[in-house]
Structure 1
Amino acid sequence: MTIEGAEPGTVRPGGRTARVRAAVLRAAGDALAEQGFAHLDLADVARRADVGKTTVYRRWGTVTGLVADLLLDMAEQSLPRTRTGSLLGDLRANARLVQRTLTDPRQGPLFKAVIAAATCDERTAGALRRFYRTRIEEWAPCVREAVERGEVPEGTDPHEVIRAVSAPLYYRLLASNDPVDEATADRAAEAAAIAARAGAYVN
């Protein structure tokens, strides 16, 4: 049974199918982190997951279909947002979550590989956009709550504030290769909070 319009691998399964999906996605993440997108191979992923090649090819079809499902799973498994009662506290929690993800021995290289793939593959780029849209939507309410508390002006764009928190961290990961540490995460959160209070993100 298939769902009309669903991408390969994106229908949420149960039972044995769920276990197969989990094993394959874990193997795909490991392979991406180790070898990058250019060397990702469905047969190798099947071998790593101890799953039949036919199952992987039938379910995901292509490498990009597998990466799209991996990003969907990562968005679903990501930790829920933290509520601290202040905008700065919430943004600092967000920044530290991003920082921990980007410096994780597995997740950091995996993100680098997926972002690199997205620059030359539109399907991967679309999946990456959906991933970040999901994460931004998860954290946007902390800005709306700050508006309600009077911490930031009416009309502040929640999405722009959340983007401003993580952008410096991704720049360090992908461009400057400077350390992505907690102090950097805290500075990014503080800068975004100060700018938001000053009305920099009012539409």
Structure 2
Amino acid sequence: MSDADVRRRPGGRAARVRAAVLEATNQLLQDQGLTGLTVSEVARRAQVNETSIFRRWGTRENLIIDALLTDAAEQLPVPDSGTLRGDLIAYATALAKYLTSPAGNALDRTLASAGDDPATRRLRDQYWNARYAHSGQIAARAIQRGELPDTADPRFVLELLVAPLHFRIVLTREPLEPDLPARIVDALLHGLVTTTSS
């Protein structure tokens, strides 16, 4: 990325530098993977000082998490199909596709292995709170339509939806079959007894 590219980005200098560094980080993750990424190479590609990166992010891990979370937020828009089942399946399908991509897979593994220092915890909390607030619209709209009771907790609905996908990616390393999102949604909406006996 050239200096001209950085200057053309909207926002102040801090916003332009952050965007350039995160873009360089995601490019390197695609090119070299999680273990091959170095802060010095990120700095070279983003055309910023390495000390500036450490001053802002503190650690290589914090930088990687921020880059991956920013990318994830862009890759997972909230669907609005008009039905709860349709929205949940569309969201779970998009998440499954993302988690099996190099960037999404790296995100899940990085989050799973990240420590609990204050900066990492803050990034992780900010991401999940933002994602649940955003994707919680699915359940909120379903409550308005009468598809869910008004006592339903939107965050809990989303946790039940996404947990099996993250479990397979991080822990069991099993494949995510194409019909898995619909199976998860039907089990979530109708319960295992109804689903398995039909």
- Answer whether TM exceeds 0.5 for this pair: yes
Q: Deviations over 1:49-83 (max 9, x none)?
A: 33332332344343354245435633653443111
Equivalent of residue 34 in structure 2, options 21, 36, 45: 36
Q: CA deviation at 1:21?
A: 2.0
- The answer to whether 1:83 aligns with 2:80 is yes
Q: Following superposition of structure 1 onto structure 2, how do residues 22-171 of structure 1 map, counting pairs within 5 Å?
A: 22-31=19-28, 34-36=32-34, 41-67=38-64, 69-70=66-67, 73-74=70-71, 76-118=73-115, 121-171=117-167
Identity in percent: 35
Q: Deviations over 1:24-70 (max 9, x none)?
A: 11232344564537x65422321243333233234434335424543
Kept in 1: contact 2:161–2:188 (CA 8 A): yes
Q: Which is bigger in relative contact order (C-alpha 8 A, separation at least 6)?
A: 1
Task: Sort the Cα spacing of 1:52 and 1:85 in 2 relative to 1 into closer, same or farther, 3 A.
Answer: same
Q: Secondary structure at the match of 2:102?
A: coil
In the other structure, the counterpart of 2:4 is: none
Letter in 2 for 1:103: T
TM-score by length of 1: 0.74
Kept in 2: contact 1:92–1:186 (CA 8 A): yes
Looking at secondary structure, tell me which structure has more helix per residue.
2
Q: CA deviation at 1:89?
A: 0.6
Kept in 2: contact 1:87–1:146 (CA 8 A): yes
Kept in 1: contact 2:136–2:158 (CA 8 A): yes
Q: Secondary structure at the match of 1:182?
A: coil
TM-score by length of 2: 0.75
- Unaligned stretches of 5+ in structure 1? 1-12, 199-203
> How far, CA to CA, are the matches of 1:113 and 1:65 in structure 2?
10
Aligned residues: 183
- Unaligned stretches of 5+ in structure 2? 1-9
Kept in 1: contact 2:72–2:104 (CA 8 A): no
Equivalent of residue 188 in structure 1, options 159, 165, 184: 184
